[in-house]
Structure 1
Amino acid sequence: MTIDFQTETVKVGIDGRTATVVLNRPESLNSLDLEMIRGLSWNLKELCSNDDVDIVVLKGAGRAFSSGGDIKTMLSGLEEADFFSVMDCISELVVTLYSMPKITISAVTGAAAGLGLSLALAMDYIIAAPDSKLAMNFIGIGLIPDGGAHFFLESRLGETKAKHLIWEGRTMSASEAQERGLVDEIVDGDFNEAVGRRVEEWLNKPLQAMIKTKKILADKNRPCLLKILELEKFGQYKMRQTADHQEGIKAFIEKRKPVFTGK
C-alpha cells in the first residue's frame, strides 16, 4: 500500500483502485475532535477528485472504529459561534461522505458510537467484526443524535423504529445491529481479509453503474439530508442548554447514573 496524502489524525493509503482511510486517534478510541473532522473532510474531498479510486474503506486505528465526538469538546463550554462552526464542519463532512462518487465501506471493529456511528451509517455498506459494539447513545447525556443520524436511521429503519432506537440509546452487539438493519455483514475469521474479499468482489463488477445508482439516489435525497443537518444543529444547541444535559455530563464525569428531570 502506498501512502498518498494524510493529516496527523487521518491516514490515507491507496492500493490500486481502493483507498483506505484510517481514523488515527487510537489513544482516545478515535473520538472525533475538530482537527480530525476537518482532516477527514479534506481527505475525502481529495479522494472525490481522484479518478483512479473507485472504492473507499473507512476504519479506525487500534481498538475502535470511533467512540463518537470528543467529550472534551462538550465540556469546553463552546461559545455560540464556535458551536455552530463545529456543527457546520460536521455537516460538511457528512454530506461529503454520503455523496462522494465512490462506493464506500465502513469497516467497524470495537466501538462505533454517537457521531462515530453516524459516519458509519453515511457510507454505502457496513461490515462489522463479531465483537463490535454499536450505539446511538446521545440520549444518555441529554442530547439528540447529530451527523445526519436522524436521516440515516430513518432511511434504514423507518421513522418509528428510528425514534425508538434513538430513545433507547443502548449499546447493541454486532448481531443485534444486523438484525435491526444497521449492519450489512458480520465477518468471521480475519477481519481485514474479509473486507478485502468484499472489495475484490466489487472491483470485478461494473462499478461505474453502481456509482451512478448511488449518485441518483444521493442527489434525490440531498435536500432532505441538508434539512436534517440544519435541524440537528439548532436542536443540539438547544439541548446543550438543558438541565438534563448538564446532569448527563456531570454524571458521566462522576461515573454514576444520571438523574434526569425532563428539563
Structure 2
Amino acid sequence: MVHTERDDGVAIITLHRPERRNAWTVEMQAGYYDALASASADPDVRVVVVTGAGGSFCPGADTQALDTYSQTGTTNPLAARIEQPEWFPSTVPKPMIAAVEGPCAGIGLVQALMCDIRVVAPDARLSTAFVRRGLPAMHGGEWLLERIAGAATAHELLLTGRTFDGTEALRLGVAHEAVDAPLARALELAHDMAARCSPTSMAHIKQRLWTSRSRTLDETVVEVDAVLDDFLSSDDFREGVASFVERRTPHFRGLSHPL
C-alpha cells in the first residue's frame, strides 16, 4: 500500500493502491507513518517527497470504510494500534514535499497540508469534502487550512466542501506551485535542498515553523538567540560559509536524530 524509494538524499514515498485510486485505509496510514518514521531515522535521507500512484494522490477515506463507519457509528478500532499520532507527519524532522495529481480530498488533502511544500498539477481536483459526508473537519484539517491559506479561505473551503483545481489551489495559497509534472518538479526541489541545505538547519526551522503561533515575536528572537552559538560553532555553519566563499556545492552532515 506504500512504496518507498531512496534517491541521493531523497526518500520518495508513494501511496500505492492504484486499483482504489490510493483511497485511505487504516492499513495505508500505518504503512505511511512507518515509512515516515524510517525516513526520519535515516541520516542519509534529507528530504521526503510524498506522491500517489496511478495519477491520483488520495481521494480521501476508502468508500468501503466509510460505509462500515456509517453502519457501526464508530471508527475502525484497528486505528488504535497505530503507534504515531495523527499529526505525526508534521513532526518529521525532514522537509516534506507533496506532489499532487488527480483527486486529493478529505484525509488525502490533510496529508498534503501536513507536508511543508505542495506542488500540484493544474488539473488536480482538491476538496475538504467533510461537510459533504456529514463529518467535522477531521484530522486537524481546520487548523491546517486556516494556518496555511488564511481564515477566509479556510471558512469557504471547509464550509462548502466544494472541489477546486490546482490552478485555484495556487491562487488561494493552498499550493506553492501548479505545474504539469508535479512529481518531477517536487524531485527537482528536493534534490536541490538535499544537496545545498543543512539538514540540521532545516530540521530546526521546520520544527519552529510548525509551533510558531504559540510564540510572540520577542519570544521567537530570544529562543533562536539561545541556540545560535550552537549553530555558529557547528561544522555545518563552517561548511556553509566556506562553500559560499569558494562558490561550490556544500557538503553538509546528515541529520542523525530529530532536534
Q: Which runs of 5+ in 1 are unaligned?
A: 1-8, 223-263
Does the CA contact (< 8 Å) of 1:130 and 1:175 recur in 2?
A: yes
Aligned counterpart in structure 1 of residue 14 of structure 2, from 8, 19, 22: 22
Moved more, 131-140 or 69-78: 69-78
| Greater relative CO (CA pairs within 8 A, separation 6+) | 2
**Structure whose CA Rg is larger:** 2
TM-score (ref. length: structure 1): 0.74
The one-letter amino acid of 1:150's match is E
1:50 to 2:42 alignment: yes
Shift in CA distance, 210/107, structure 1 to aligned 2, threshold 3 Å: same
Aligned to 2:140: 148
Moved more, 208-217 or 178-187: 208-217
**Once the two structures are superposed, what CA deviation does each residue of 1:39-89 show, in whole Å capped at 9, x if it has no partner?**
111111121111111100000000200010112112114656x62746657
Aligned to 1:139: 131
Aligned to 2:188: 197
Alpha-carbon distance between aligned partners in 1 of 2:191 and 2:104, rounded to the nearest angstrom: 25
TM-score (ref. length: structure 2): 0.75
Matches within 5 A, 1:68-217: 68-77=60-69, 79=72, 83=75, 85=77, 92=84, 94-188=86-180, 190-203=181-194, 204-217=196-209
Q: Tell me how large the CA RMSD over aligned residues is.
A: 2.3
Shift in CA distance, 74/114, structure 1 to aligned 2, threshold 3 Å: same
Q: Which runs of 5+ in 2 are unaligned?
A: 215-259
Shift in CA distance, 154/192, structure 1 to aligned 2, threshold 3 Å: closer
How many residue pairs are counted as aligned between the two chains?
A: 212
* 1:206 CA displacement: 2.9
